[in-house]
Amino acid sequence: MSEVLRNRVYIVTGGSRGFGLAIAKQLVAQGANVGLISRNQAGLDQVVAELGTDQAVGMACDVGSSEQVCAIFEEIRRHFGQLDGLINNAGLAAPNRVENLVEAEVISQVHTNFLGTVFCSQAAIPWLRGTDNPRIVNISSASAWHYDEISHLSIYASTKAAVERFTRDLRLELQHDCIGVTCIRPGGAITDFSVGWDPDAFAAALEGWKDMGTYMDMGMVPEDVAEAVCYCLTQRPGVAVDLLEVRPSVLTPKDGF
């Protein structure tokens, strides 16, 4: 258990599965309290039951709605009595060739991945200001910069690149408040991220990806990202990891993926 994280309160968006779930579990294991946000209340209820109601609370929210976000953040802070940090993890993707992009899928990715990061950061800042080691951690993706991720993720990758640019300005603006701001750029990890993807578009994306080379940067697990988040949160006050890229370091053949 970390003395630095013990009894602190963090909001984790996209907390019902994948990276968000792993981050929540790691934080609770380190003695922190977590407010989990996602659109799936049933999923959140299962996670909270697993983590324990003393240290976790889950509330359904559309992070792309500023009004909902502000209300939920205030409720989570009231529940625990404080807020020490925010992990902007919520994200979704819908792979497709550019000429076949579906308007609703484009909008939903921008809505969740980018606007969600903006609105949640806005809501957290007033509650973080004045605490002794406040943090905002924004989760990007290696696909924002590297071409060896799954193909046909133009919109997802663009929203994550936007998150990184937004994070740079956020860091500068919050220095006067001593709020540490970090961007973590994870590489390929095995999660349930592809749930709900159009099977034909996904198949085409995989074919395009395999044509780009024999090996892939895949093989991480969500716990790797969770450990990176905790590392960033435990820096001493006045020091913040600016950008942390965590990627697999072993060549893995794409055959059989």
Residue 2 falls inside a structural domain: no
Determine the structural domain holding residue 33 and report its residue range: 9-253
Model pLDDT for residues 193-213, shown as the tens digit of each residue:
555 667 776 665 566 556 555
Euclidean distance between CA atoms 10 and 67, whole angstroms? 20
Report the SS3 class of residue 128.
Answer: helix
State how far Cα 226 lies from the chain centre. Answer: 10
Residue 24 falls inside a structural domain: yes
Euclidean distance between CA atoms 59 and 39, whole angstroms? 8
Residue 203 falls inside a structural domain: yes
- Strands 180-186 and 188-189, by their bridges, are unpaired
Residue 226 falls inside a structural domain: yes
Residue 248 falls inside a structural domain: yes
**Which pair of structure tokens corresponds to residue 240?**
């913040």
Residue 1 falls inside a structural domain: no
Residue 103 falls inside a structural domain: yes
Euclidean distance between CA atoms 199 and 214, whole angstroms? 22
Please state the domain count of the chain: 1
Task: Read off the DSSP letter of residue 151.
Answer: S
Residue 138 falls inside a structural domain: yes
- CATH number, residue 216: 3.40.50.720
Euclidean distance between CA atoms 161 and 178, whole angstroms? 25
- What's the pTM? 0.91
Model pLDDT for residues 88-135, shown as the tens digit of each residue:
999 999 989 999 999 999 999 999 999 999 999 999 999 999 999 999
Candidate list 10, 156, 215, 231, residue with the active-site label: 156
User: What element of type H or E holds 167?
Assistant: helix 154-174
Euclidean distance between CA atoms 29 and 15, whole angstroms? 15
Euclidean distance between CA atoms 32 and 243, whole angstroms? 23
Positions in the chain whose pLDDT score sits under 70? 1, 148-149, 190-197, 201-218, 252-257
Active site residue 147: no
